[in-house]
């Protein structure tokens, strides 16, 4: 998700290559159309297209993958922290930049959430559940904000002749 949010115009082939570089245990992901695609690549392409569609939707339908409500609050908090870590890894791997102060703050807060832990307080379980729900919503809104910021930056750089991709950012 971080790869797509940071580079909204990324091609599926580039996306899969970058994803594979972040996951060294994915040997065998080939993009050659002459070979049969491994099952993981087919599923990955489907998941990536769904994520791209959700991020571009005007209906705020984007969902993050965290453990189900049946899991303990501690497990869901750890899951959210892991999700944020993965998002940040992908976002960082894109080489994209953020200029907007609010988007920079959202990125910083995602880093804080990635380091989150939970110590359950049985006396205030309802309050903790509400706080977790608010945190998940904050993460979703932050991801959408970052995606939109990168889309606008890429769009403005493209119209001014700069591709806005990682290669363009390295020369700065």
Q: What's the pLDDT at 17?
A: 79
Residue pLDDT, tens place only, 79-112: 999 999 989 988 888 877 888 899 999 999 999 9
Q: What's the pLDDT at 78?
A: 93
The phi-psi region of residue 29 (left if phi > 0; otherwise alpha if psi is between -120 and 50; otherwise beta) is beta
Q: What is the C-alpha separation between 37 and 21, in angstroms, rounded?
A: 18
Structure-token pair, residue 111: 């880093």
Could you give the residue ranges of the DSSP H alpha helices within 94-165? 101-114, 125-159
Q: What is the CA radius of gyration of the chain?
A: 18
Residue pLDDT, tens place only, 137-150: 999 999 999 988 98
CA–CA distance from 16 to each of 1, 31, 56 (Å)?
12, 8, 19
- Residue 24: is it exposed, middle or buried by C-beta count within 10 angstroms (0-12/13-18/19+)? exposed
Q: What's the pLDDT at 34?
A: 46
Q: What's the pLDDT at 124?
A: 74
Q: What's the pLDDT at 27?
A: 57
DSSP code at position 37: P
Q: What is the C-alpha separation between 44 and 51, in angstroms, rounded?
A: 10
- Residue 37: is it exposed, middle or buried by C-beta count within 10 angstroms (0-12/13-18/19+)? middle
Q: Could you tell me the sign of the dihedral formed by the alpha carbons of 136, 55, 163, 160, in that order?
A: negative
Residues in the chain where the model's pLDDT stays below 50: 31-34, 163-172
């Amino acid at each position: 998700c971080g790869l797509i949010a940071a580079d909204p115009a990324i091609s599926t082939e580039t996306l899969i290559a970058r994803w594979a570089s972040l996951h060294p245990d994915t040997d065998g992901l080939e993009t050659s159309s002459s070979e049969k695609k491994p099952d993981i690549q087919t599923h990955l392409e489907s998941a990536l297209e769904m994520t791209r569609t959700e991020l571009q939707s005007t209906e705020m339908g984007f969902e993050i993958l965290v453990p189900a409500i049946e899991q303990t609050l501690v497990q869901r908090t750890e899951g959210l922290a892991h999700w944020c870590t993965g998002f940040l890894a992908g976002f960082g791997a894109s080489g994209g930049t953020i200029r907007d102060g609010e988007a920079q703050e959202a990125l910083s807060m995602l880093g804080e959430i990635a380091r989150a832990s939970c110590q359950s307080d049985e006396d205030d379980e309802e309050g903790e559940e509400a706080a977790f729900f608010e945190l998940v919503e904050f993460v979703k809104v932050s991801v959408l904000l970052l995606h939109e910021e990168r889309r606008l930056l890429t769009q403005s750089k493209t119209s001014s002749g700069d591709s806005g991709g990682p290669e363009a950012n390295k020369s700065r």
